[in-house]
Amino acid sequence: METKTGMKDDKTIRALLEAVRLMEESGRAMTLGQAMTFLGVVLWGASNKHEEPLTLVELSERIGIPYTSLVRHIRYLGEEGLRPSQPGLGLISSEVYLLNRRQKVAYLTPKGLRLAEKLKYIVSNGRVEDANNT
């Protein structure tokens, strides 16, 4: 099926669009940088049981954003938020890294884990309809 622009309907792009919509519905809107931070924690944070987590410094380098921006994003995506009057989204938390107490690592909260599972489902299946059942 072709769209009005003459491009073929791409299941991957549709899945990406659905995933972005789902991320936006998780609370207040996320900036692109905040979404990249969330996805970086999904891939390389302490919740990933397949490998050692990246420290926040390493995570900022891997994602390609400044460390200070990453820390701000984690506060917004976390419980505390950017201001006392505005709580965060509750998707991410951070803690001291046990292998190097001078560093911190980020991990997904239960709410963040649920969102990550829904995103994985949408990207794999290209549909959002059944994602709420995961």
Q: What is the pLDDT of residues 108-122, one digit of tens each?
A: 999 999 999 999 998
| Domains contained in the chain, CATH given | 11-121 (1.10.10.10)
Residues 1-33 have pLDDT tens digits of 555 655 556 778 888 888 888 887 776 778 889
64: CB partners within 8 A, 6+ apart: 36
For residue range 56-93, what is the model confidence (pLDDT) as tens digits?
Answer: 999 999 999 999 999 999 999 998 877 777 888 999 99
pLDDT at 100: 85
What pLDDT, on the 0 to 100 scale, is given for residue 124? 86
Return the pLDDT at 24. 78
